[in-house]
Every structure is written in C-alpha cells, then in structure tokens.
Amino acid sequence: MPPRKPRSDAARNREAALTAAETLFAREEDAARVTMDAVAAAAGVGKGTLFRAFTDRDGLILALVDRRSDALRARVEGDEPPLGRAAPPRERVVALLDALVTFKLDNRRLVLALEQGGAASPFRSPAYGWWHGALTDAWRELGDPDDAPFLAHLMLAAVRADLIEHLTTAEGRPPAEIRDRLTRYARSLMP
C-alpha cells in the first residue's frame, strides 16, 4: 500500500496554491494577515482544496519553506566543503551559521511566518532538529562533546528569524554586517 500518485488536477492546484501563497507572504508585512481564504482566492481554488493539500496553515507554510531550502539541505548533507561533512570543523561551523543566516535574510517573511506559526514550538519541528544535529556534529569535533548540543542551540538562537528581522528592519543593519559579526561571534566561541 504505497501512496498512489496524486491526480493531475490535485498536483496542479497544489502548485497554484504554493505560488499564490509565496506572493502573498512576500507582499504582506505581517504574516498573520495572510489568511487561508486569501490564499485560496488568489490561487483560484476552494478553501477545502487548500486544507486537503496541506492539512493546516502551518503545513502550507512549512511546504513553502521546504521548497526553498532543498538546495541548501543537499549541500549540507553532501561531503563537499565548506558545508559538507568533509570540511574541517572550524570552517564548517562558520559556514553552516553563515548559510543559515543568509537563508533567513533571503527569506525573511516566510521564515518569520513559520517560526511564529501556530501552537507547536519551533524546537520540535524536523527542520530545527536537523539543523541542530548538523551543528552539533560540527561542534563535537571542536571541543567538549558534552557542550556541543548546547552550543548548537545557542547558534540557532542567534539567527532566530525575528531577531534577524529586527536587526535589518528596525536597526537598519546591512546584511553584510550581520553576517560578519556572526562569523566573528562563532569564531570567538571556538577553543
């Protein structure tokens, strides 16, 4: 009983919804104001269809973010330096953090919508666990292995979407500065 392939209209509608949602989230400053009704309308699709395809609001947002981060995830899971497992750990930690913050800078609105999404805390999400794992691995080769998971949490806390948003928008810091300071921050934590 492998899941049978989706019907053609279902696939088409799913795509339409994703595209519409992408535009709406990009346009609207406050993610909470992008309603499911609005997405359905913009996609030219019924509301029921939307929920059938993505289960709930969080599911939709997650699908959007997933699509954007596929390429990045592949690079981290591969071997190639500087992000892959073959990279020397000092460089890898810095590269991971930089890739993460760059991704969030490029997808501010979307990630923001995800992180302040509904009930489930971001920490239980597969994405968080996955990043946490990658960072922990890298840190473990650098210092006290007991400390690695904790440090990984701290790195992820440093690039929380709403913090990044605040630094760029409210404080007007240019992305380059943020990336630079974070890099030096990571280095200063290394033994």
Tell me if 175 sits within 8 A of 115, measured CB to CB: no
CA distance 132 to 15: 30
Interaction partner, residue 48 (a copy of itself, DNA, none; CB < 5-8 Å by kind): DNA
Shortest Å distance, C-beta 137 to a copy of itself: 17
**Shortest CA distance to 107 belongs to which of 135, 77, 68, 160?**
68
Q: Which of 74, 81, 162, 174 binds a copy of itself (CB under 8 A)?
A: 162
Q: What is the dihedral of CA 79, 90, 125, 117, to 10 degrees?
A: -120
Q: Which residues bind DNA (CB under 7 A)?
A: 4, 6-10, 12-13, 32-37, 44-49, 51-53, 56-58, 118
**Residue written as tokens 């992180």?**
115
Name the 3-class secondary structure at 102: helix
Tell me if 186 sits within 8 A of 93, measured CB to CB: yes
- Here the tokens at position 175 are 């992305």
For the chain, the farthest-separated pair of C-alpha atoms sits apart, in whole angstroms, at 56
Q: Which residues contact 76 (CB under 8 A, 6 or more apart)?
A: 83, 84, 96, 99, 134
Interaction partner, residue 47 (a copy of itself, DNA, none; CB < 5-8 Å by kind): DNA
Interaction partner, residue 160 (a copy of itself, DNA, none; CB < 5-8 Å by kind): a copy of itself
> Which 81-140 positions form the footprint of a copy of itself (CB under 8 A)?
116, 119, 121-124
Phi-psi region of 55 (alpha: psi -120 to 50; beta: other; left: phi over 0): left
**Residue written as tokens 């989706």?**
6
Q: Which is nearer to a copy of itself, 38 or 167 (CB)?
A: 167
Interaction partner, residue 6 (a copy of itself, DNA, none; CB < 5-8 Å by kind): DNA
Q: Which is nearer to a copy of itself, 67 or 166 (CB)?
A: 166
Q: Which of 12, 47, 166, 187 binds a copy of itself (CB under 8 A)?
A: 166
Interaction partner, residue 67 (a copy of itself, DNA, none; CB < 5-8 Å by kind): none
What residue ranges bind a copy of itself (CB under 8 A)?
A: 30, 32, 116, 119, 121-124, 147, 150-151, 153-154, 157-158, 160, 162-163, 165-167, 170, 181, 185, 188-189
